[in-house]
């Protein structure tokens, strides 16, 4: 069983961090309630972290300013390929 510092160990956790169901009747109602509260808190923190990360990822202005060089190189490469395709198309028609 695993617990955070200051908490009673009530919920068994695998070494990979996944929660496992304890045997029926092995926990008291208070332990179950504590586990529910703990799970809600962990879920809330996870959702907050995900929301924050999503905001960072979808911030287009920030992404453009952080990756300006990559965008310019990519735009130049795409322009070169389009120009080459147009030139080859005209050459074949002639």
Q: How confident is the model at residue 50 (pLDDT cuts 50, 70, 90)?
A: very high
- pTM: predicted TM-score of the whole model, two decimal places: 0.48
For residues 41-47, give the mean pLDDT.
96
Distance from C-alpha of 52 to C-alpha of 54, rounded to nearest angstrom: 5
Give Cα 31 to chain centroid, integer Å. Answer: 31
DSSP string, the chain: -B--TTS---B-B-TTS-B-PPPTTSS-HHHHHHHHHHHHHHHHHHHHHHHHHHHHHT-HHHHHHHTHHHHHHHHHHHHHHHHHHHHHHHHHH-
Distance from C-alpha of 45 to C-alpha of 37, rounded to nearest angstrom: 12
- In this predicted model, what pLDDT tens digit does every residue of 9-41 receive, in sequence order? 555 666 777 777 778 888 888 998 999 999 999
pLDDT at 2: 45
């Amino acid at each position: 069983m695993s617990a955070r510092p200051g908490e009673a160990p009530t919920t068994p956790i695998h070494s990979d961090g996944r929660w496992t169901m304890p045997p029926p009747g092995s926990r008291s109602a208070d332990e179950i309630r504590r586990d529910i509260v703990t799970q809600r808190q962990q879920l809330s923190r996870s959702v907050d972290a995900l929301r924050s990360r999503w905001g960072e990822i979808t911030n287009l202005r920030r992404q453009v300013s952080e990756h300006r060089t990559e965008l310019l190189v990519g735009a130049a490469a795409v322009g070169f390929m389009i120009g080459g395709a147009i030139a080859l198309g005209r050459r074949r028609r002639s």
